[in-house]
Amino acid sequence: MAVPTTLPTSIQLEIVTPDRLLVKEQVDEVQIPGTEGYFGVLPGHTPMLSALAVGEMWYRKGQEMTFVSVANGFCEVLPDKVTVLAQLAERAEDIDVARAEEAKRRAEERLALAKDVDYDRARLALQKSLARLQVSSRAPLGGRVGRQRMPPTQ
Ligand code: ATP
Q: Which pLDDT tens digit goes with each residue over 98-152?
A: 999 999 999 999 999 878 888 999 999 999 999 999 999 986 644 455 677 777 6
Contacting residues for 82 by C-beta, under 8 A, at least 6 apart: 11, 12, 13, 14, 30, 32, 41, 75, 76
Rounded distance from Cα 49 to ligand 1 centre (Å): 26
Residue nearest to atom 13 of ligand 1 (CA): 88
pLDDT at 142: 42
Comparing CA positions, the residue from 96, 92, 83 lying closest to residue 64 is 92
Rounded to whole angstroms, the Cα distance separating 40 from 149 reads 18
Q: Each residue of 11-65: pLDDT tens digit?
A: 999 999 999 999 999 999 999 999 999 999 999 999 999 999 999 999 999 999 9
Q: What percent of the chain has pLDDT over 90?
A: 80
Rounded to whole angstroms, the Cα distance separating 94 from 22 reads 11
Label residues 86-106 b or e (16+ Cβ within 10 Å = b): bebbbbbeebeeeebeebbee
Q: What percent of the chain has pLDDT over 70?
A: 90
Ligand 1 pocket, residues with Cβ under 6 angstroms:
88, 90, 94-96, 99-100, 103, 125, 128, 132
Closest ligand 1 atom, CA of 128? Answer: 6
Three-class SS of residue 29? strand
pLDDT at 7 over 90: no
Domains in the chain (CATH in brackets) are 11-94+138-148 (2.60.15.10)
Q: Each residue of 86-102: pLDDT tens digit?
A: 999 999 999 999 999 99
Residue type present at position 78: L
pLDDT at 4: 65
R_g (Cα) of the chain, nearest Å: 17
pLDDT at 145: 54
pLDDT at 5: 72
The C-alpha angle with vertex 59 and arms to 25 and 127, in degrees rounded to 5, equals 120
Please state the pTM of the whole predicted model: 0.87
Three-class SS of residue 58? strand
